[in-house]
């Protein structure tokens, strides 16, 4: 049977005797040979994170332990700081400034937009944190101009250029392709309305009406595939205009540009479908309690809404 001697008294520490061991030099002592009372000894025995140091080791080990603890704290602070820095970069892009404080750069339209969609249902904040953990704009030397939460856990990222958009799209697909899909948002097509359409046309199928418009206006001269670029969005009757029948059409930017410049007979109003009027925005019903009408074209709020909608529509060459 192995036995040990107490370093303090040099007597044997028998198996049935209580002992205490120095955590540094591992020397063993009778409990009554150390400067600790019964409660202190029991406390050390019960707590695995509390250590006993003999007199010799106590002077040096305390400094070592303090340095070790300080080093661990500094590492944790640095880790949290790096994580917070990433989050701040994303959050700053999503905090709107008052209109009068925005620079011209901040007011620009962001046409290079990505939509990040989670494959499984989750909140947008979770999506945002995942993206922030994998993409460091500073490290990649990218400029993310805006980042917004959307419904169903999606987020929208506005990039400063098409190159930035491609890099982020590739990075997300590589790092998080098993959790998210990346969609490049595109501008909406402009819309036009045909007013005063004869009632018999309203009963026809959408495809038949589109073909009729193309044939009557020789639109295939513009583009052989024009039929696929013209879509009826809505048929409606305007009760305030003697129940006149109207068509709302979605068209591509090339056709819109030709109509806008008046280079096509669609503007003449001489065909059976009557006259076409360009629509740049849908009708807005704005009710703001201020000292002018909501429809006043000089209303600042009204102007901002119109500008915002127009930026999302592809009118082609301007």
Identify the pLDDT of residue 102.
45
Identify the pLDDT of residue 317.
56
Identify the pLDDT of residue 199.
80
Fold of 4-52: Herpes Virus-1 (3.30.40)
Position 61 pLDDT exceeds 70: no
Express each pLDDT in 116-147 by its tens digit.
888 888 888 888 888 888 777 777 777 676 77
Region 29-57 average pLDDT: 84
Identify the pLDDT of residue 111.
56
* CB of 198 closer than 8 Å to CB of 244: no
3-state class (DSSP) for residue 5: strand
Would you call 305 exposed, middle or buried from its count of C-beta atoms within 10 A (0-12, 13-18, 19+)?
middle
Mean pLDDT lowest among 9-13, 62-66, 159-163, 266-270: 266-270
Q: What secondary structure letter does DSSP report for 189?
A: P
3-state class (DSSP) for residue 50: coil
Identify the pLDDT of residue 100.
45
Q: Name the residue with higher pLDDT: 63 or 50.
A: 50
3-state class (DSSP) for residue 197: strand
Region 268-292 average pLDDT: 40
Q: Which CATH class is domain 105-185?
A: alpha beta
Which residues lie below 8 Å from residue 266, measured CB to CB, with a gap of 6+? Answer: 213, 217, 219, 259, 276
Region 108-121 average pLDDT: 74
Region 56-68 average pLDDT: 70
Q: Name the residue with higher pLDDT: 102 or 184.
A: 184
Structure tokens that stand for 29 in this block: 């002592």
Cα-based torsion angle of the residue sequence 127, 130, 136, 140 in order, rounded to the nearest 10 degrees: -80
Region 83-109 average pLDDT: 55
Domain locations along the chain = 4-52, 105-185, 191-310
Whole-number average pLDDT of the chain: 73
Identify the pLDDT of residue 64.
67
Identify the pLDDT of residue 316.
62
- Start-end of H helices in the chain: 38-46, 55-93, 124-134, 137-140, 162-176, 199-202, 206-216, 253-260, 300-310
Position 60 pLDDT exceeds 50: yes
Percentage of the chain lying above the pLDDT 70 cut: 69
Percentage of the chain lying above the pLDDT 90 cut: 0
* Cross-strand partners of 238: 244
Q: How far apart are CA 153 and CA 309, in angstroms?
A: 24
Express each pLDDT in 160-169 by its tens digit.
777 888 888 8
Position 232 pLDDT exceeds 80: yes
Mean pLDDT lowest among 43-47, 94-98, 205-209: 94-98
Structure tokens that stand for 40 in this block: 């202190």
Structure tokens that stand for 16 in this block: 């049935």
Cα–chain center distance at 131: 8
């Amino acid at each position: 049977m192995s036995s040990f001697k107490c370093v303090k008294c040099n007597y044997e520490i028998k198996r049935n005797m209580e002992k205490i061991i120095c955590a540094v030099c591992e020397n063993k002592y009778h409990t009554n040979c150390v400067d600790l009372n019964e409660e202190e000894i029991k406390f050390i025995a019960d707590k695995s994170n509390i250590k006993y140091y003999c007199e010799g080791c106590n002077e040096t080990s305390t400094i070592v332990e303090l340095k070790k603890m300080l080093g661990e704290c500094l590492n944790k602070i640095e880790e949290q700081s790096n994580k917070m820095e990433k989050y701040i970069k994303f959050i700053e892009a999503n905090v709107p400034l008052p209109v009068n404080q925005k620079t011209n750069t901040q007011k620009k339209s962001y046409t290079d937009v990505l939509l990040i969609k989670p494959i499984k249902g989750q909140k947008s904040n979770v999506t945002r944190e995942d993206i922030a953990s994998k993409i460091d704009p500073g490290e990649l030397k990218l400029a993310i101009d805006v980042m917004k939460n959307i419904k169903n856990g999606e987020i929208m990222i506005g990039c400063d250029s098409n190159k930035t958009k491609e890099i982020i799209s590739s990075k997300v697909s590589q790092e998080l392709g098993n959790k998210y899909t990346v969609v490049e948002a595109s501008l909406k097509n402009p819309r036009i309305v045909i007013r005063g359409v004869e009632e018999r046309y309203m009963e026809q199928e959408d495809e038949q009406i589109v073909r009729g418009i193309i044939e009557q206006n020789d639109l295939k001269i513009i583009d052989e595939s024009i039929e696929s670029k013209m879509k009826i969005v809505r048929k409606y009757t305007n009760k305030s205009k003697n129940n006149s029948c109207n068509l709302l059409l979605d068209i591509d930017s090339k056709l819109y540009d030709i109509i806008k410049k008046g280079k096509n007979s669609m503007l003449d109003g001489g065909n059976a479908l009557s006259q076409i009027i360009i629509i740049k925005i849908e009708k807005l019903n704005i009710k703001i309690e201020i000292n002018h009408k909501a429809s006043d074209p000089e209303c600042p709020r009204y102007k901002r809404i119109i500008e915002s909608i127009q930026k999302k529509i592809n009118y082609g060459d301007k």
